[in-house]
Chains A and B, each alone.
Chain A
Amino acid sequence: MSGYQALTYWDLVAASIFLVLNAVFSIALNLGLARTLIVSALRMTVQLVLVGLILKAIFFAGSLWWTLLAATVMAAFAAREIRARQKRRLDGLLGVGLGAGAMLLAGSLVTLYALAGLIRPEPVWQPQYALPLFGMILGNTMTGVSLGLDTLHTALAQGKRDVEARLLLGGTRWEATRPALRQALRSGFTPIINAMAATGVVSLPGMMTGQILSGIDPREAVKYQLMIMFLLGGATGLGVLGATFASIWRLTDTRHRLRLDRLEKR
């Protein structure tokens, strides 16, 4: 088994040569892509370098409070992203709170379960394990929840007449919104289902690749990857279910009316 090959910063500069080449082509062919390409590459570089420094500091400090603070910042960014990815969202605080709450509840539950029950680092919150795990789980749950809510709200707003037709025929609010709910759940689950189906056949998952590159036995890397995928699937599922049910509960009332007035108008 070969050891770990560390990269120098010059290696990175060399690696970016093809990207720079693309920018040159874009300018030569007048594609207008050079600017966005360079800006996003620079932005990514700055973000990742900073994250590297911050993670290093947190790992070095080994403090529960810094770890929690980092997790909170990650959750706040994810919450903002869920809000931004919905074309129609609930009005008031629930516009950000409902999706974020479902994501956080499902994400924290699954992360804690994995840390305390499966990986069992010492101490349990050890940032080397807790932060990357929480990040992966949060990211996937965030995608699922925002897709689910966006689909649900669009389906209800565009299908108002169909939902009300079922209400008028004596359906309860849950019966009347069933088709919209099914659509929302399907779209929230799709990314994780696709990821599970394609994983390993076309590309190796990023985390597994990382472990293999750092010299871990592929069979061990596969075990870790499988555990992560199960956790991601579980957390996404819980988050999507929770968010869509809570949103339907909010967008209907006890007199079984569809309350689209509780969707924010844009």
Chain B
Amino acid sequence: MLTIENLRTPLVGPVDLDLEKGSFTAISGPSGAGKSLLLRAIADLDLNSGMLTLEGTEREKMPAPVWRRQVAFVPAESGWWAEDVRDHFTETPDLGKQLEAVGLKDALSWQVSRLSTGERQRLALIRALQLGPKVLLLDEPTSALDPPSVARVEMLMKDCTARGCAILFVTHDPDQPDRLGARHLYMESGRLSASPSRQDAP
């Protein structure tokens, strides 16, 4: 579905990666290895070079906003530009159901400044899902969550792949890739590999 060839930034790459329709791919590795930078580069947020194609269409053939709506990236720390949570969402019929699925039924009427890190994380995921993306790039989507919330978010992620989207996520939780049936990759000094080369890499 998403094919990445020879992706490079000053600190990352070259990276080659194929994401299959309806699949999970997990990346782990030490801090500073370039995991977040890789996701940023795929979303075209930083200068990068390489050949990226989504279902046969080259990235550079479409405007960046169109690309980012189809290849949605949720950073580890999300950005909020208005005071009220409501202003960050398009109010669609199934928004309420999605919020309920992550345990934040009433969040729309809350203020952003009073959200906890975990609440922000879950809301940012819902916000990205509203775009109806074909590929989801998630940077530590469950790092600040308690176990029940982790289960809810993983449920949501599975719903997404069941509908055919591909999910690439960064995680430090050693059991999460297996729970989701993900292909597990490791990243060190900007390069991806199928197994960790050092002992200390999780």
Contact = CB atoms under 8 A, between A and B. Distances in A.
B45 interface: yes
Most chain A CB atoms below 10 A, which of B65, B77, B80, B127: B65
B81 A168 contact: no
Contacts of A160: 79
A166 B64 CA distance: 12
A200 interface: no
A162 B74 CA distance: 12
A38 B72 CA distance: 62
B68 A167 contact: yes
B159 interface: no
B78 A165 contact: yes
A265 interface: no
Interface in B56-109: 63-66, 68-69, 72-75, 77-81
Given A161-B75, A256-B65, A166 B44 contact: no
Given A161-B78, A161-B79, A162-B81, A168 B63 contact: no
Contacts of B127: 169
Contacts of A167: 45, 64-65, 68
Contact of B65 (A161, A165, A172, A179): A172
A165 B44 contact: no
Interface string B29-73: 000000000000001111100000000000000011110110011
Contact of B44 (A163, A172, A179, A255): A255
Interface in A136-166: 159-166
A166 B46 contact: no
Contact of A257 (B44, B73, B75, B131): B44
A170 interface: yes
Interface residues of B, number: 24
A166 B63 contact: no
B153 interface: no
Contacts of B47: 257
A256 B63 contact: yes
Contact of B68 (A161, A170, A179, A258): A170
Interface in B122-159: 124, 127-128, 131
Given A161-B75, A255-B64, A257-B64, A170 B69 contact: yes
Given A168-B45, A169-B131, A170-B131, A161 B77 contact: yes
Interface string A159-189: 1111111111111100000010000000000
| A-B interface, 9 closest residue pairs, ranked by CB to CB distance from nearest | A165-B79, A161-B79, A170-B69, A256-B64, A162-B79, A162-B81, A170-B65, A255-B64, A170-B68
Interface of A: 159-172, 179, 255-258
Given A162-B81, A166-B81, A258-B45, 19 more contacts: A159-B81, A161-B77, A162-B80, A163-B79, A164-B45, A164-B79, A165-B75, A165-B78, A167-B64, A167-B68, A168-B68, A168-B75, A168-B128, A169-B69, A169-B127, A169-B131, A170-B66, A170-B69, A171-B65
